[in-house]
Amino acid sequence: MEPGTVVWRETAQSLLRQKWLIMGCIVLGLVGASVFALSQTIRWTASSQLVIGPAVPPALVGKLSDGADKSGPLGMDLPAETQARVMASPTLLAAVVKQLGMPTDDKTIQELASVTRVKAVTDNAYLVTTDGPTAQKAVDRANAIASIYLAQRNTEAKALLTNLAEQAQARSKTATQQSRSLVSQIDEAVGRGDNQTAAALRDQRVGLATEARQAADDAAAMLKALTAVGAGSQLVTPATTDTASSSPMVARDILVGGILGLVLGFGLALLRSHLTPYILTRDQAARATSSPVIAASEGHRRRFWQRSAPELPQYEITALGAEASGALARRELSPRAFAGGGPGALLVVSASPTPNSAGIALAMAEANARDGRETLLVLADIEGTPVLPHLTGHEGLTDLVNEPAATRAIRARKLFRPGTVADLYVLPPGLNHEETAEAVGPSLVPGIVADLPPGYSVVIHGPASVGRHGITPLAAAVDASVLVVQVGLDKEMDVARLTGALQFAGAPVLGVVLIGAAVQDETLGIPLNYKPLDSAPPMR
């Protein structure tokens, strides 16, 4: 399988494991969007479309000192974007407010300006869109903006044309009067015999007459254009009443909220999966221990606020132990391997204190004893919970601390107690809870195991750390080990360190018993590129 496939598979599994987090984010998004949508003020939208024809032809305003093509007052042909801004300006909207009978204060005008949008569709077509508290008011506002702009534009154009015509007529009258005044001056020059002056005056009189006629023609053209003002400007598509409000759009807002919640849930789930230090899958457990998962049980997922290991029912612990023991037997590591047909010594250990690891050690010892081999279960976890209540009142491992070395093996044999099945014996933790006994007691295990008669199979259950010596004292007494890993409780770094310590101490990890595996975790829990050992060190 390609590495990329493994990454996508683990990502999908992490999302499935945290489906409740994702669903919670989706519900949160839906509820938040619903509250937001339903709390909004109902708003209706209406749109009207108008077309603006030419107002004052640019050729007629060429003599204005401040006039030019495509610029000037409202009555002239302004750029499309400029006219769109004029329609949505507070100056025009003040007239709209007054016409509709709304309050004429600045607040009302600003509110109307904030909900008014004018778009220049083409050079002479405009779309006016505005909102209102009701459908009819929105229609009235949109139509009023368009009609008032057209009316003001026509008024401004007529006023401009009238002004231009009056100016042209005044120029024509002035030029005519000046031309008439030159007649007497020409006669006087002719009477004096000054032909040169008379010729100059005649040329000047011709120019004034031409100017008068031109001004008269301009005035006539402007008066003619005055009658055509507004002919090409009209409200082509008046606003109509909508049957549904434009805001709030509850269905759209809820859909957007659900999508945002889904995205948030996916993000949090992936972030949590990549940042959590805890083991969550079979593959993670196998990768941390470099060993396959030989037995696994489903369990409750760990929460952010809950990092305890719930005790499994006895029947499930027994099933896990039997499965793990059978898996070790099928591996056939060596002719004398534990659960493989001969005696051996095995350490069952967990990276963190859990009531389940001792039960699994007992179940594996029971499975080994049922196969007809004499088996000793050494409970070296001094602080652990007793797995056999009927043995709690007996002396045990810690009571051997003060025993002389010469008689310690004989004394240990006397402390063996019958287990729950035939051929199973148990060495309890003991009743001596002094500091010295608790620190030194587990270090006596290698000597006890070495002094056993031939033929015994040994299962030792101990904590991950024993005093100042770590796992070394217990690992020295065994040939191999099995790790009990609790999903959501054991950290991947702690499990990896424990695996390295066991390997260094000569007790390599043969397999992992995983507790709390998720239903969605369908992998086998075998490390990538894993190859079983062709041979293993001989076990006792």
Please name the amino acid found at residue 288: A
Q: How far apart are CA 220 and CA 218, in angstroms?
A: 5
Secondary structure (3-state) at 311: coil
Give how far the C-alpha of residue 378 lies from the chain's centroid of Cα atoms, to the nearest Å.
51
User: Tokens standing for 61?
Assistant: 């305003």
* Predicted structure pTM score: 0.59
Residue whose pair of structure tokens reads 């945002």 in the numeric block: 260
Q: How far apart are CA 345 and CA 230, in angstroms?
A: 107
Go through the chain and tell me how many residues it has. 540
* Continuous segment of H or E residues that includes residue 425: strand 424-427
Instruction: Return the closest-CA partner of residue 98 out of 88, 87, 108.
Output: 108
Give how far the C-alpha of residue 466 lies from the chain's centroid of Cα atoms, to the nearest Å.
44
Q: How far apart are CA 300 and CA 356, in angstroms?
A: 14
Q: How far apart are CA 217 and CA 225, in angstroms?
A: 12
Secondary structure (3-state) at 163: helix
372 backbone φψ class: left, alpha, beta (φ>0; ψ -120 to 50): left
Decide if 409 contacts 450 (C-beta within 8 A): no
* Termini Cα distance of the chain: 38
Give how far the C-alpha of residue 405 lies from the chain's centroid of Cα atoms, to the nearest Å.
65
User: Tokens standing for 436?
Assistant: 């010295």
Q: How far apart are CA 362 and CA 388, in angstroms?
A: 9
Residue whose pair of structure tokens reads 């509709």 in the numeric block: 100
345 backbone φψ class: left, alpha, beta (φ>0; ψ -120 to 50): beta
Decide if 525 contacts 284 (C-beta within 8 A): no
Q: How far apart are CA 95 and CA 91, in angstroms?
A: 7
Backbone CA torsion sign across 37, 38, 43, 46: positive
Decide if 279 contacts 487 (C-beta within 8 A): yes
Residues 6+ away with beta carbon under 8 Å from 191:
none
Secondary structure (3-state) at 101: coil
Count other Cβ atoms within 10 Å, centred on residue 181: 11
Q: What is the pLDDT of residue 336?
A: 41
- Which of 122-161 are b and which e, b meaning 16 or more Cβ less than 10 Å from the residue's Cβ? eebebbbbbbbeebebbbbbbbbbbbbbbebbbebbbbbb
pLDDT tens per residue across all 540 residues of the chain: 444 455 676 677 677 777 888 899 999 999 988 888 777 777 788 888 888 876 665 555 555 444 433 334 555 567 778 888 888 888 888 888 888 888 888 888 898 888 889 888 887 888 998 988 888 888 888 889 888 888 888 888 788 778 878 888 888 888 888 888 887 888 888 778 778 888 888 888 888 888 888 888 888 877 777 776 766 777 888 888 765 666 667 788 888 988 999 999 888 888 877 778 888 888 888 888 888 999 888 765 555 445 566 778 888 888 888 888 888 876 644 434 444 444 688 999 988 877 788 889 999 999 888 888 889 999 988 877 677 877 777 788 888 988 888 888 888 888 998 888 888 999 998 888 888 888 888 888 998 888 888 888 899 998 776 544 467 788 888 889 999 998 888 888 889 988 988 888 888 898 999 998 877 777 778 887 676 654 444 443
Q: What is the pLDDT of residue 392?
A: 72
Q: What is the pLDDT of residue 40?
A: 73
Q: What is the pLDDT of residue 382?
A: 81
